[in-house]
Chain A
Amino acid sequence: MISSSILKKSQSLIALLLLMIVLSIVTDKFLTAGNLWNVLRQISVNMCLSIGMTLVILTAGIDLSVGAVLGLSGAICAGLLKSGISIPAMDLWIGFTVLGAIVAAITVGTALGLFNGWVITRFSVPPFVATLSMLTVARGLTFLYTQGQPISDLGANFEKIGAAWFLGVPVPVWISALFILVFYVLTTKTSLGRFIYAIGGNEKAAQVSGVPIQKVKWIVYALSGAMAAIGGVLVTSRLNSAQPNAGINYELDAIAAIVIGGTSLSGGQGSVKGTIIGAILIGVLNNGLVLLNVSPFWQQVVKGLVILLAVIVDKMNQKAK
């Protein structure tokens, strides 16, 4: 009995291992060190977005704005690095170092997330609607800020964040691993983590038992915005260029990773651990389909079916319980 419950708990991990075994059999290009680092580097952006959004979804909310926030913070990071801020009226020009530009981008992402949290708690706007509005606003601001043109050539130091290796591991992988650790500890070992699960499980009961609901929601949306900004810095650095349309539809990949990882969209159930496996699974799937040179039309069909299958299996397990 114990073994079957463990089996159920780790179904997404089993699915991932199965997929990897199949890929290793059908192509000898999959299971190489080069390719595996490649996959981990590619998923680092979605990893940041999806672990950030996991907290939001655990509170029974959703954050549709992550892709757009990624685009805006990436653009601001690039713009500040490239041309700083000039205030002609005061004859003032402020230049930004790499660190300064990154901090500014994360501040912007956090502020937009806080705004989401404020709108949701203060006016009781459903998270879907509040963050959908933010998606449009942030995308529009990105186009305004960039004038619809890419901001490129951001310097060798900035490019290193996305391209360099440290102790044999690509830097973006280090960065996503660090945040995985932070979010894992946050959800499993802290009172904030307990509050998050409590709100998602039953908000009224949580309120009665003294959980500071408003504060917790502000924090989760702010963290989601901050992680989107970090994703934005990573994308911008990897391309050495900020694209005005960077991050379009990324929220969907993040939600897919979370759902495949077994986190329930109705809140209260799931884990950061699951999301990590979900994000890796999507990355491996994307990589495998290209390695096998599968037609792009089929790729979309396959990806959609995998997500559906993951959720169906999850539902069946819940019923069995």
Chain B
Amino acid sequence: MKYVLALCGLLLFGCSSKESAEKPKIAVVISTLNNPWFVVLGESAVKNAEKLGYEAKLFDSQNNPATESDHFENLISSGFDAILFNPTDADGSIANILKAKEAGIPVFCMDREVNSNDAATSQILSDNYTGCVAIGVEFVKQLHGKGNYVEILGLAGDNNTYARSNGFHTVVDKFKGLKMLGQQNGDFDRNKAMEVMESMMQANPDLQAVFCGNDAMALGAYQAIQSAGKSQQIKVFGFDGADEVVQKIKEGKIVATGMQYPKIMAKTAAEFAVEFFKGRKDFPQHIPMAVNLVNSKTAKHY
């Protein structure tokens, strides 16, 4: 009964909160909650906003710019005062940010960038490209510049997929001894990556390494390699810094990953929103967050 009453209250009075000069409300809009990494990003943003004393609510755009657009319209009309934002698309999301800007609501981008320098109030971005350049360097070192490898890309049409792959290849492609024998999509999905890896090992029995566009896929690829009894032969490289992968690096099962900091990005964005409420207006447009290389030597620090 209590819940029913609360629900009625929400329906009746939800829209009137703007006029009653309450504490500002913060919305967290995340590209997708289908991926554990983004769940961490979104939940940390909500927790940080709440810790700073503000009401915060989480929205899932389901990787769909149209859903994201609906969220923005609802947020603007229901009186949210700041948006911590993880965009679905570097170009497609700009219009949504501009809608909020017009309504006087600041937008702070987290992790993923939009291709505009005057839409968002500030963008706190994970440097996927440079992070994967570092992975590429480690890759070359571990293989001594020689060997056959395959790459498991993320999702077709996703910005980070290409930022990561391009960063990796700027280094690795300079070494003629390193031959890429296959390049397939794993959709950032553990099971898909496992199946793709199983087939690629059949096509190319003489593999020395695999580079995966995220850690979920690295874990899937590792599972396939282990089942095939090739864990001594094929070196696995990932990206993200998932706990499970850091653990496997310590155990010597996976070679390296790039550590991203979703919690720090979320915290910075929440703090910026609060500073905005207090009157600060001079935010830097881009705040790059370094991605750190995790390998067997550095894993103990994480």
Which residues of chain A have C-beta atoms less than 8 A from B189's C-beta? 243, 245
Residue of A whose beta carbon sits closest to that of B242: A150
In the assembled complex, the CB of B220 is this many whole angstroms from the nearest CB of chain A, namely 7
> Do A291 and B202 touch across chains, with their CB atoms under 8 A apart?
yes
Q: Is B156 an interface residue (CB 8 A)?
A: yes
B43 — which chain A residues lie within 8 A by C-beta? 148
Stretch at the interface among B44-52, B108-116, B193-201, B280-288: B193-201
Partner of A243, one of B184, B190, B198, B202: B190
- A35 near B244: Cβ-Cβ < 8 Å: no
Q: Report the minimum CB–CB distance from B212 to chain A (whole Å).
A: 14
Which listed segment binds A: B10-18, B30-38, B254-262? B30-38
Taking the complex as formed, is A287 at the interface, i.e. its CB lies under 8 A from any CB of chain B? yes
Chain A residues with Cβ below 8 Å from B182 are 290, 293
Pair B191/A290 contact, Cβ less than 8 Å: no
Residues on the A chain within 8 Å of B156, using CB: 296-297
Among the listed B153, B199, B219, which residue makes an inter-chain contact with A287, where contact means beta carbons less than 8 Å apart? B199
Q: Write the B156-187 contact mask toward A (1 if CB under 8 angstroms, else 0).
A: 10000000000000000000000001111100
Report chain B residues within 8 Å CB of A149. Answer: 36, 39
- Most B CB contacts (10 A, CB to CB) among A34, A239, A248 go to A239
Q: Is B105 at the interface (CB under 8 A from chain A)?
A: no
Q: Give the shortest distance, in Å, between A296 (CB) and chain B (any CB).
A: 4
In chain A, positions 287-320 with a C-beta closer than 8 Å to chain B are 287, 290-293, 296-297
Q: How distant is the Cα of A286 from the Cα of B190 in the complex, in angstroms?
A: 16
Does chain B have a CB within 8 A of A241? yes
A82 adjacent to chain B (CB < 8 Å):
no
- Do A38 and B183 touch across chains, with their CB atoms under 8 A apart? no
> What residue of chain B has the Cβ atom nearest to residue A152's Cβ?
B244
Q: Name the CB-closest residue of B to A34.
A: B202
Assess whether A111 is interfacial by the CB under 8 Å rule: no
A239-B190, A241-B219 are known contacts. Are A290 and B196 too (CB-CB below 8 A)?
A: yes
Q: Given the interface contacts A152-B244, A296-B185, does A29 sit within 8 Å of B203 by beta carbon?
A: yes
Q: Does B223 contact A (CB under 8 A)?
A: yes
Is the CB–CB distance between A147 and B223 below 8 Å? no
A290: contacting residue among B36, B200, B219, B227, CB under 8 A: B200
* B223 pairs with A238, CB closer than 8 A: yes
CB within 8 Å for A243 and B39 given contacts A38-B198, A291-B199, A297-B156? no
Contact (Cβ within 8 A) B190 A241: yes
Q: From A42, A153, A239, A293, give the contact of B184 (CB < 8 A).
A: A293
Contact: A148 with B33, CB < 8 Å? yes
| Residues of B close to A143: CB separation below 8 A | 33
Bits for B32-70, please: 1 = Cβ < 8 Å to A, else 0. 011110010001000000000000000000000000000
**Given A150-B244, A290-B182: A245 touches B153 (CB 8 Å cut-off):** no
Q: Of all chain B residues, which has the CB nearest A242?
A: B190
Minimum Cβ distance to chain B for residue A230 (Å): 16
Which A residue's beta carbon lies closest to that of B223? Answer: A239
Cβ of B216 within 8 Å of any chain A Cβ, yes or no, is: yes
Q: Interface size bucket, A side?
A: 20 to 34
A residues near B198, Cβ cutoff 8 Å = 38, 41-42
Q: Which of A148, A241, A286 contacts B195 (CB 8 A)?
A: A286
Q: Which of B185, B202, B216, B220 contacts A38 (CB 8 A)?
A: B202
User: Which residue from chain B places its CB closest to the CB of A294 in the assembled complex?
Assistant: B184
Name which residue of chain B comes closest to A170, CB basis: B227
> In chain B between 234 and 284, which residues have their CB closer than 8 angstroms to a CB of chain A?
244
Question: Is there contact, CB below 8 Å, between A147 and B203?
Answer: no
Q: Cβ of B223: which chain A residues have Cβ within 8 Å of it?
A: 238-240
CA distance A244 to B220 in the complex (A): 14
Fill in one digit per residue for A234-273: 1 if any B CB lies within 8 Å of its CB, else 0: 0100111101111010000000000000000000000000
A292 to B203, CA, bound (A): 8
A27 at the interface (CB under 8 A from B): yes
Q: List chain A residues, Cβ under 8 A from B190.
A: 150, 239, 241, 243
CB distance from A299 to the nearest CB of B (A): 8
B191 and A238 within 8 A (CB): yes
Kindly provide the distance from the CB of A231 to the nearest chain B CB, expressed in whole angstroms: 11
Inter-subunit contact A239/B194 (CB<8 Å): yes
Contact partner of A27 (CB less than 8 A), chosen from B185, B203, B216, is B203
**Residues from chain A with Cβ under 8 Å of B39 in the complex:** 147-149
B59 CB, min distance to chain A CBs, angstroms: 14
Q: Quick one: closest B residue to A39, CB to CB? A: B199
CB-nearest residue of chain B to A143: B33
Give residues 72-100 of A contacting B (CB, 8 Å). none
> B153 contacts A296, CB within 8 Å?
yes
Ordered nearest first, which 7 A-B pairs have the shortest CB separation? Answer: A148-B39, A296-B185, A290-B199, A35-B202, A291-B203, A245-B34, A293-B182
- Using A241-B190, A245-B189, A246-B191 as known contacts, list a sample of 15 further A-B pairs with CB atoms less than 8 Å apart, ordered by residue number in A: A42-B198, A42-B199, A143-B33, A148-B43, A150-B36, A239-B223, A243-B216, A245-B34, A290-B196, A290-B200, A290-B203, A291-B199, A291-B202, A293-B183, A293-B184
Which A residues fall within an 8 A CB radius of B?
Answer: 27, 29, 32, 34-35, 38, 41-42, 143, 147-150, 152-153, 163, 235, 238-241, 243-246, 248, 286-287, 290-293, 296-297
Chosen A-B contacts, 6 in total, with CB atoms closer than 8 Å, are: A41-B198, A152-B244, A243-B191, A287-B202, A290-B182, A291-B199
